[in-house]
With several copies, the nearest count.
Chain A
Amino acid sequence: MLEDLYRELIMDHYRHPQNRGRLENPTVQVELHNPLCGDELELQLIVKDDTVEDVRWTGQGCSISQSSASMMSQALKGMARDRALKLVANFQAMMHGEDFPYPEVELGDLEALSGVAKFPVRIKCALLAWEALSKALNQSES
């Protein structure tokens, strides 16, 4: 069902994206794009004391990639780096229909994106922001 994909929460984030924009002084930034469709995403983080203090992102893409970035950025603020990495793993598992590797780290609102798993071509859209996050967190390792 189309409604599994375009849940209300997703459409809300698409219409009103959170943390869209650029930071003055990011400690790390990553640019990624999806060669299948041309979607682009730039993610900026301020990671201090192993904590994600701030997040911004810009980019062009479909409702799924944009809302995924938006919801991710919301979940991320103030999160410990370790926990953020676990969140990435859980999100990826959800997209691939696998069990969460870290059930103690909850996805919360992000579960709204679980329906994407039924649309194989769109999984890459949902994952774009998370790939960027994974790269950024690895780069910000001190």
Chain B
Amino acid sequence: MNLSRLREDFPALHQRVHGKLLVYLDNAATSQKPKAVIDAISRYYAYDNANVHRGIHALAERATVAYEGARARIARFIGAPAPETVVFTKNASEAINMVAYAWGGVHVREGDVIVTTPMEHHSNLIPWQQLARRTRATLRYFGLTPDGRLDLSNLDQLIDERTRIVAVTHVSNVLGTVNPVRRIAQRAREVGAVCLVDGAQSVPHMPVNVQELDCDFLAFSGHKMCGPMGVGVLYGRPELLAQMEPFLFGGEMISKVTLEEATWKDAPHRFEAGTPNVGGVIGLGAAVEYLEAIGMENIWRHEVELSRYCIERMREAIPEVIIYGPEGERAGLVCFNVPGVHPHDLAQVLDRDGVAIRAGHHCAQPLMRLLGTPATARASTYLYNTKEEIDIFVSALIRAKEFFA
């Protein structure tokens, strides 16, 4: 990876903020976009914009080919067996809600068990809480080890014959832990449960193959992987999608409609009611093309190395720093606290040095409670971040600490 060349592709990275060069370390919230993606969207709106699927004219045909082409590319990117297994939503959250309503609403009954973990993002937690409440099912949680991994010692009791669905994040957006989702999905399969993987923090950063993971559903968001906002993806095993009733109703997803009733198209269209975000999907297709050209293996190695370097430098500079999550290989994000300085104040002071980090509960309040802190600071990297940026971040951190001392 030629970092300085690659950075040229991202216009947002070359701006000054409060007079300082921007160091963008808030990638777990959303990534910046390469010019290729921004231009693909502009070009679509400038020349090919039309509603898809039903139009006979040239623009509608171009838009449909581009939209379905992006679907095929994204399917290949995650190793999906067919384009039809990829449903477009507005974000990962909608994808997860769709499964909770459309699959869960039918297959989960009173007394059944839903298994999830205390390290989930709210988007992969509250839909299951609500499903459990609606169906009177039981919500059961993995334990966490002291170093922030899932406790697998009781896996077979945790995921038992009463379990209908296991919802687990691939990579924690707080701890950086990479969870053994293949093993968990296998156990789910053994007891006849389905396994949904929240890939919001994995798909953008590492090679992910749904057939190797052998999961039933995978949800992720385009905006965290160089794509535009407003596009999420739900991958579903073909048999499961075929069984699922739709969840949103309207144009594009119907087969036959009378005043009394309606029948549905097959997946994926059945789950895409209304005009889809064609421009957004095309943008995500361009993002995937961009990422593939760089190589997901390379991106992952780069980020693992960055987070290792980052943690090392932080500990050197501020020995009392608290770093959350496991030692060893972990994703390119670091949640931390500097004793005596609230993460908000850290983020504020760092911002004035041009360094963008995030502070707060990271949509993981239950995990915050387990970690014994109401909030943390988080520095999260992506393919374009450099060690020099980590150095700037750490220097800014030292200044911030001194400011509040």
- Indicate whether A and B interact: yes
Contact surface of A with B, Cβ cutoff 8 Å: 2, 5-6, 11, 33, 35-40, 60-64, 66, 119-122, 125
Is B64 part of the binding interface, using a Cβ–Cβ cutoff of 8 Å? yes
Do A63 and B352 contact each other (CB < 8 Å), given the known contacts A35-B254, A36-B53, A38-B374?
Answer: no
A125 to B65, CA, bound (A): 17
Determine whether the beta carbon of A38 is less than 8 Å from that of B348. no
Contacts of B255 in A (CB 8 A): 33, 35
The residue on A at minimum CB distance from B53 is A36
Do A122 and B348 contact each other (CB < 8 Å), given the known contacts A36-B360, A40-B374?
Answer: yes
A11 to B365, CA, bound (A): 28
The residue on B at minimum CB distance from A11 is B404
Q: Which of B348, B365, B374 contacts A60 (CB 8 A)?
A: B374
Contact surface of B with A, Cβ cutoff 8 Å: 53-56, 60-61, 64-65, 254-256, 265, 342-345, 348-349, 352, 359-361, 365, 368, 374-375, 403-404
Determine whether the beta carbon of B404 is less than 8 Å from that of A63. yes
Given A6-B403, A37-B54, A39-B374, 4 extra CB contacts under 8 A: A35-B255, A37-B360, A38-B375, A121-B55
Q: Which of A2, A39, A40, A66 contacts B352 (CB 8 A)?
A: A2
Q: Which of B55, B342, B352, B365 contacts A61 (CB 8 A)?
A: B342
Determine whether the beta carbon of A62 is less than 8 Å from that of B345. yes
* Chain B nearest Cβ from A119, distance in angstroms: 7
Chain A to chain B contacts (Cβ below 8 Å), 16 pairs: A2-B349, A35-B265, A36-B53, A36-B360, A37-B54, A37-B344, A37-B360, A37-B361, A38-B361, A40-B374, A61-B342, A62-B343, A119-B348, A120-B65, A121-B60, A121-B64
A134 to B365, CA, bound (A): 26
A36 to B368, CA, bound (A): 14
Contacts of B344 in A (CB 8 A): 37, 39, 61-64, 122, 125
Determine whether the beta carbon of A5 is less than 8 Å from that of B348. yes
Q: Which 5 A-B residue pairs are closest in the complex by CB-CB distance?
A: A62-B344, A62-B342, A38-B374, A38-B361, A35-B255
Contacts of A61 in B (CB 8 A): 342, 344, 374
Most buried by B among A6, A60, A120, A121: A121
A115 to B404, CA, bound (A): 18
The residue on A at minimum CB distance from B369 is A38
Contacts of B61 in A (CB 8 A): 120-121
A60 to B360, CA, bound (A): 12
Contacts of A119 in B (CB 8 A): 348
Contacts of A66 in B (CB 8 A): 342
The residue on B at minimum CB distance from A40 is B374
Contacts of B65 in A (CB 8 A): 120
* Chain A nearest Cβ from B255, distance in angstroms: 4
A64 to B352, CA, bound (A): 17
Contacts of B348 in A (CB 8 A): 2, 5, 119, 122
A2 to B345, CA, bound (A): 11
Contacts of A40 in B (CB 8 A): 374
The residue on A at minimum CB distance from B344 is A62
Contacts of B265 in A (CB 8 A): 35
Contacts of A36 in B (CB 8 A): 53-54, 360
Contacts of B359 in A (CB 8 A): 37
A74 to B404, CA, bound (A): 22
Contacts of B352 in A (CB 8 A): 2
Contacts of B56 in A (CB 8 A): 121-122
Contacts of A63 in B (CB 8 A): 342, 344-345, 404
* Chain A nearest Cβ from B199, distance in angstroms: 26
A60 to B64, CA, bound (A): 25
A121 to B375, CA, bound (A): 16
A141 to B328, CA, bound (A): 57
Q: Which of B64, B360, B404 contacts A38 (CB 8 A)?
A: B360
Q: Which of A2, A35, A38, A64 contacts B368 (CB 8 A)?
A: A38
A120 to B62, CA, bound (A): 10
Contacts of B361 in A (CB 8 A): 37-38
A125 to B345, CA, bound (A): 11
A2 to B20, CA, bound (A): 14
* Chain B nearest Cβ from A50, distance in angstroms: 31
Contacts of A35 in B (CB 8 A): 254-256, 265
The residue on B at minimum CB distance from A61 is B342
* Chain B nearest Cβ from A38, distance in angstroms: 4
A39 to B365, CA, bound (A): 11
